[in-house]
Amino acid sequence: MNYEPIIKGNVKEFSVKPNLLNYEEARESFSWDDIYKELDGLEGGGLNIAYEAIDRHAKTSLREKMALYWEGKDGNSKQYTFHDLYTLTNRFANALQSLGIKKGDRVFTYMDRTPEIFVAILGTLKAGAVVGPLFSAFGPDAVKDRLQDSGARILITTPGLVATVHEIAGELPALEKIIIVNRRKTPYELNENEVSYERIMESASEEFEIVKTEKEDKAIMHYTSGTTGKPKGAVHVHQAVMGHYATAKYVLDLHPDDIYFCTADPGWVTGTSYGIFGPWSNGISQVVYEGGFSASHWYGVIEKYQVTVWYTAPTAIRMLMKAGEKVIGKYNLKSLRYMCSVGEPLNPEAVVWSVEAFGLPFHDNWWQTETGCIQIANYPLQDIRPGSMGKPFPGVTAAILDEDCKHELPPGEEGNLALKSGWPSMFRIYWNKKELYDSKFINGWYITGDRARKDEDGYFWFVGRADDVINTAGHLVGPFEVESALIEHPAVAEAGVIGIPDKLAMEVIKAFISLKDGYEISDELIMEIKRFARKKLHAVACPKEIEILDSLPKTRSGKIMRRLLKARELGLSEGDTSTLED
């Protein structure tokens, strides 16, 4: 653990008074019931995330406040007030009902970060349905797995992406309708089961009575990868908004006059919890940039909209470091007052660099798809120990448990990072996978799958994953998914996939394969297998490197030993190989 240099948290340096003034006191006095009281709830009882994010502000003096500043990747921009989003989401909820959507049905989005994705997600929640946002970078198999597993009845997508859905449509019996958003008016002829977003929105009423949802009704699902099997759908309920609201207020330190910029896509939980629900439940104006990473575009957005609070991820920060300070010098970034990071370990150098480059440190925080909201964080007023994830959120209890997950370990010892279950935004099920869900809880602790340490002063330090899951540029990738995709190629006999260190993305994916008889090793074959994998997987899940071996190391029971592949690749000790097949 590296305590040096400590970056001092000092109230005098803040242009606004932080929302969390005393961490220890906040831990004593915090109660989720008090947070619940700060929300409105539905008239006549019940709770709905979309109501807390939009409607309650549309009824107050915030009605004409800008909720969304949208910056398109082609230079177009658009602005929406809370009232605009109120009427648009009402229209969308009406349109869904007219298509037969009922409470609890699954509605998925598969599109880029255009304003319609926000309307679709929030409108779906108003209609009482469960929303599942998918990355637009997904290939057909990734989309198919998620739509099949969830039994989604409606998918919202665009003319540019719908060809992917057409490829798999025959294997999606539950999918009844596809809503096509055609913001750029691309010539496109609708198929029989397709409807135009623009047309259904035009004919839908602006008035909608939100379907009565309760705290524990299912609201949103995000698929996340594990070591074995296909990705699983972690489902969150409407009271998760208590977690989004409280952590956006106390960790992201959002204040009424802030202009907030979150770079995450809604396909990842950060893009919904903190790209939609957290800021808007606090009535904050936010900027959304449609495009992906670009140092100059991001700085341009910060300058143009006078962004004050910025939430991004370590791979992006490392890419900003690589882009250098010269490009920073071209923009006026003085509006920034607070910056946070999540998704992967944030290198101490990146924290120190950010102080040099922006005059402000990135505040790292830790959480997962399953936890729904930030669990461990660096707060504005606390000293930062670069490399540490910070301390548990006041409403959360975190601990380091021993190998059996029965006892807490003393400070300094590495073990399993666990959270006392019971916070409002905790996932409630893995869709259709009860046993797997139950296996994550031991003695009232949720076992996160991460290894970590706690120091004497209560700061948590990330060590690594307890399983084979690979974190590449902040995306969790299960090796099994990639291996399954690879062995579908006619030339591939077996595949073993590992993460290897990478300066920018933390880890990238390397695949080892052996070939079926009759196939010869060649660069063309490797390229073809890479292209094949790209069609099946998310872009980031595709192997950067493929190495062909005569055969892969296996246990006597026939399991490919990824651990051994990794040890050999990195030149580490091979450890216990007693189960290795002869």
Assess 484 for contact with ligand AMP (CB under 6 A). Answer: no
**Nearest CA to 552 among 470, 473, 493, 481?**
493
Q: Name the DSSP letter for residue 409.
A: P
CA angle centred on 318, ends 316 and 324, rounded to 5°: 105
Query: Between 158 and 369, whose beta carbon lies closer to ligand AMP?
Result: 369
CB of 506 to ligand AMP, least distance (A): 9
Pairwise CA distance, residues 71 & 288, whole Å: 6
Residue of the chain from 128, 159, 266, 343 that contacts ligand AMP (CB under 6 A): 343
In this structure, are residues 376 and 460 in contact, taking their beta carbons and an 8 Å threshold? yes
CB of 372 to ligand AMP, least distance (A): 10
CB of 341 to ligand AMP, least distance (A): 7
**Nearest CA to 408 among 423, 393, 398?**
398
Residue of the chain from 368, 375, 416, 484 that contacts ligand AMP (CB under 6 A): 368
Pairwise CA distance, residues 567 & 500, whole Å: 10
CB of 394 to ligand AMP, least distance (A): 18
Query: Between 158 and 416, whose beta carbon lies closer to ligand AMP?
Result: 416
CB of 101 to ligand AMP, least distance (A): 27
Query: Between 87 and 371, whose beta carbon lies closer to ligand AMP?
Result: 371
Query: Between 124 and 369, whose beta carbon lies closer to ligand AMP?
Result: 369
**Nearest CA to 35 among 340, 373, 309?**
373
Assess 342 for contact with ligand AMP (CB under 6 A). Answer: yes
Query: Between 115 and 345, whose beta carbon lies closer to ligand AMP?
Result: 345
Pairwise CA distance, residues 135 & 231, whole Å: 14
Pairwise CA distance, residues 503 & 509, whole Å: 13
Query: Between 139 and 271, whose beta carbon lies closer to ligand AMP?
Result: 271
Written as one letter, the residue type at 125 is L
Q: Name the DSSP letter for residue 556.
A: T
Task: Output helix, strand, coil percentages for the chain, rounded to the nearest 5.
Answer: 30, 25, 45
Which region, judged by CB under 6 A, interacts with ligand AMP, from 139-147, 255-263, 340-348, 544-552?
340-348
Assess 345 for contact with ligand AMP (CB under 6 A). Answer: yes
Pairwise CA distance, residues 512 & 498, whole Å: 8
**Nearest CA to 104 among 128, 121, 126?**
128
Q: What Å distances lie between residue 365 and 73, 329, 510, CA to CA?
A: 28, 28, 28
Query: Between 217 and 344, whose beta carbon lies closer to ligand AMP?
Result: 344
End-to-end CA distance of the chain: 41
Pairwise CA distance, residues 29 & 84, whole Å: 37
CB of 245 to ligand AMP, least distance (A): 19
- Which secondary structure element, helix H or strand E, spans residue 570, and what is its range? helix 562-570
Query: Between 123 and 474, whose beta carbon lies closer to ligand AMP?
Result: 474
Query: Between 466 and 487, whose beta carbon lies closer to ligand AMP?
Result: 466
- Name the E strands within 425-491: 429-430, 441-442, 445-454, 460-465, 470-472, 475-477
CB of 366 to ligand AMP, least distance (A): 4
- Touching ligand AMP, residues 387-446 (CB under 6 A): 389
Assess 472 for contact with ligand AMP (CB under 6 A). Answer: no
In this structure, are residues 243 and 372 in contact, taking their beta carbons and an 8 Å threshold? yes
In this structure, are residues 264 and 319 in contact, taking their beta carbons and an 8 Å threshold? no
Interface with ligand AMP (CB under 6 A), residue total: 19
Residue of the chain from 78, 304, 440, 465 that contacts ligand AMP (CB under 6 A): 465
Residue of the chain from 344, 483, 494, 507 that contacts ligand AMP (CB under 6 A): 344
CB of 227 to ligand AMP, least distance (A): 13
CB of 175 to ligand AMP, least distance (A): 25
Pairwise CA distance, residues 101 & 107, whole Å: 8
Residue of the chain from 157, 224, 239, 472 that contacts ligand AMP (CB under 6 A): 224
Query: Between 87 and 224, whose beta carbon lies closer to ligand AMP?
Result: 224
CB of 266 to ligand AMP, least distance (A): 13
Which region, judged by CB under 6 A, interacts with ligand AMP, from 341-349, 395-403, 518-526, 549-557?
341-349
C-alpha of 569 from chain center: 30
Assess 84 for contact with ligand AMP (CB under 6 A). Answer: no
Pairwise CA distance, residues 379 & 552, whole Å: 47
- Touching ligand AMP, residues 247-286 (CB under 6 A): 269
Query: Between 285 and 312, whose beta carbon lies closer to ligand AMP?
Result: 312
Residue of the chain from 369, 382, 416, 484 that contacts ligand AMP (CB under 6 A): 369
Q: Which residue is nearest to ligand AMP (CB)?
A: 369
Which region, judged by CB under 6 A, interacts with ligand AMP, from 320-328, 343-351, 404-412, 543-551?
343-351
Written as one letter, the residue type at 111 is M
Site string for ligand AMP, 347-366 (x = CB under 6 A): -----------------xxx
Query: Between 300 and 458, whose beta carbon lies closer to ligand AMP?
Result: 458
Which region, judged by CB under 6 A, interacts with ligand AMP, from 132-140, 284-292, 337-345, 405-413?
337-345
- Within 10 Å of residue 17's Cβ, how many Cβ atoms? 11
Q: Name the DSSP letter for residue 280.
A: H
CA-only gyration radius of the chain, Å:
24
Place of tokens 């300066």: 503
In this structure, are residues 274 and 225 in contact, taking their beta carbons and an 8 Å threshold? no
- Within 10 Å of residue 292's Cβ, how many Cβ atoms? 14
Query: Between 452 and 525, whose beta carbon lies closer to ligand AMP?
Result: 452
Judged by the rule CB under 6 A, the positions of this chain that interact with ligand AMP are: 224, 269, 342-345, 364-366, 368-369, 389, 448-450, 462, 465, 471, 476
